[in-house]
Structure 1
């Protein structure tokens, strides 16, 4: 991979310098075209799944003849959390790191997938590996438009690899928590603050009670996390607030824990403390947990052995964040995440990638794909 290192970093820079925030369809589609061009000459079939409101998805397939053998799924996303009007737009490098929006989350991972396929094509193996690479446009906002596509492809595969960033100590993700995202809306009764008594129906006061009850759901021993992330409400300091809204985030280890959390949330929202107020809970999105099972462990052990032969140190990790690996896991196939390059501070203006990890993880992925497909 060292031979192609300049091309890898040139492609990374080109993609990072295109803003592809989840709501920037023009930018996401531009990244998709760059990827399709980069794969030209590999004999791959590239299908564009058109979307109107969001970026188009790409589905890339190898030319392997149809067999009874189930294939391999690669997954990566082209969108980032940085909106079109962000000030964080530049790509730069120093001796050890590359910096830029999405450099590890996850345009670096896309480069890993692209050049692993190019390497396998160069040695004539792509015709023998049944593989599909799904590149979606909406992962950072819950993969609502691509979730069914990903699950459909996972149902036809034997195993999967997701190209989110690897950990700084060589972690590969063997399990992930599930999540729920919700909106809580409180309605009260407006009035002049100067004439309000102790019985005022303030939506903000009720939201304060709701916030305390929701935050009390945090239970580290059980793996529950609850967070009231944003709160808005009212129209001015001299008016009793008629309306308040909060956005909520929850993480959990097991599917049944998610059901329990949801039930407890609905009970909290119906148990209002301030007379004259009502609260409504809406579940916005969610992903089920990606459990650490025996099949994931066996796949990880296989990858770890290959990495050992390459002199690459790996460690398994249960990661609290969610990704499209959570969706893939529901198909009942083994899936490893964090197969992309190593870095940190993603979702911030300090996002960086360790440059040495880009060719290293590309080599690892190429060898792993050849191995799981039974190729030397």
Structure 2
């Protein structure tokens, strides 16, 4: 399958090696530019609705706005509900069937990290920028996708295209189990020749970038046990070192022995004492202990990110060995692992897809695109389909402060992003059918 992708991409690169914009492509660009004020209005309409992941009504309301846009573009739309126990809004799916040709999957998400009751303004215009809830991550990217499709439709370039769209409702806090929450996306990915994801675009050293690799998102829980006893006996053969000293030994050994490029393992929460507990629903830990008592229990909650399955397995093996061997006297420890988002390793086909994207951008006078270092971006939905197709991410808007109270967006990036995306979709759709 990878050879087929590579051959198709080579064809595209050869066909555009010295090309500028064709007449049709010039009309596509003009259509995007004509819609720029309306695109901003569409963005404002969707951003003014709180759609935190745990606000399913708000998520569905944003979905209905985008659904109406897709219906008007000739897509067949449907809403995929999730099981009630998952407590998630579900996903919006849209399909456009064309003639023979490449199949494209476009990905966005409706939810934001700003839950209902957030003090962050929904929409605050600041000159050529906008601050607001999810304005950059990723309603700006959602609007870019819709405007690109609209421009293609306006010049007849969408008629023969095979495009599937999925706007997920729980990207920021994935519903559990993720195998269920992403089952439909995986099936769509298996049908696609290319997957284009519209998470925020970022600059590196002043140059716009795109992502063809994203590290996994998962975690680990370290539990350490010692002997509760009077502190006067600490370090003795009878009382041992206690759970907190053993925890410190393990974490320092991780730092010294496990680090390698593109691999991170962050201990985000550490708590220990005579008694400890952790509340998952509030992400809150509590501990009881005294300075003159040797700690009996300690726990660490950590994050684990790696670029390939092989790298992840190496890390887990090393960490398990450190946890279970060389324990300080009077202590024992266990570690468990979980994975939410699978890794998306870089591929040659992905690099060539960025070349096509970069060429389209340069032909439109918008500058080159370079591949972003995966350590500079978190996890995203495109990772679920990466094993089955050629994926690219970062086609969305440019902004600052994603996930923070100061999240904002550069308004001009909506037009730039829509032009680039429309040209990329158009050129990919022109490739010969497999």
TM-score by length of 2: 0.78
Alignment of 1:95-106 (within 5 A): 95-106=127-138
Aligned to 2:37: 6
Report whether the alignment pairs 1:213 with 2:253: yes
Aligned to 1:151: 186
Pick aligned residue for 1:305 from 359, 376, 381: 359
Local SS of the residue matching 2:430: coil
Pick aligned residue for 1:90 from 122, 144, 152: 122
Report whether the alignment pairs 1:322 with 2:379: yes
**Offset, 1:129:** 0.7
Structure 1: gaps (5+ residues): none
**Offset, 1:113:** 1.0
Aligned to 1:287: 341
Alignment of 1:221-236 (within 5 A): 222-234=261-273, 235-236=287-288
Please identify, of 232-241 and 102-111, the stretch whose mean Cα deviation from structure 2 is larger. 232-241
Aligned to 1:340: 396
**Offset, 1:41:** 1.5
Alignment of 1:135-284 (within 5 A): 135-141=167-173, 144=178, 145-168=180-203, 169-190=207-228, 197-198=234-235, 199=239, 202-217=242-257, 219=259, 222-234=261-273, 235-238=287-290, 240-271=294-325, 273-284=327-338
**Offset, 1:14:** 2.7
Pick aligned residue for 2:110 from 70, 73, 78: 78
The answer to whether the Cα contact below 8 Å between 2:241 and 2:294 also exists between their aligned partners in 1 is: yes
TM-score by length of 1: 0.89
Aligned to 2:89: 55
Pick aligned residue for 1:107 from 139, 146, 149: 139
Q: How many residues align?
A: 370
CA RMSD of aligned residues (A): 2.5
Please identify, of 271-280 and 281-290, the stretch whose mean Cα deviation from structure 2 is larger. 271-280
> Relative to 1, partners in 2 of residues 1:8 and 1:148: Cα closer, same or farther, differing over 3 Å?
same
Answer with 1 or 2: which has the greater Rg: 2
**Offset, 1:346:** 1.0
Local SS of the residue matching 1:21: coil
Structure 2: gaps (5+ residues): 1-31, 274-286
Runs of 4+ more than 6 Å apart:
none
Paired with 2:339 and 2:66, the residues of 1 have a C-alpha distance of: 29
The answer to whether the Cα contact below 8 Å between 2:71 and 2:77 also exists between their aligned partners in 1 is: no
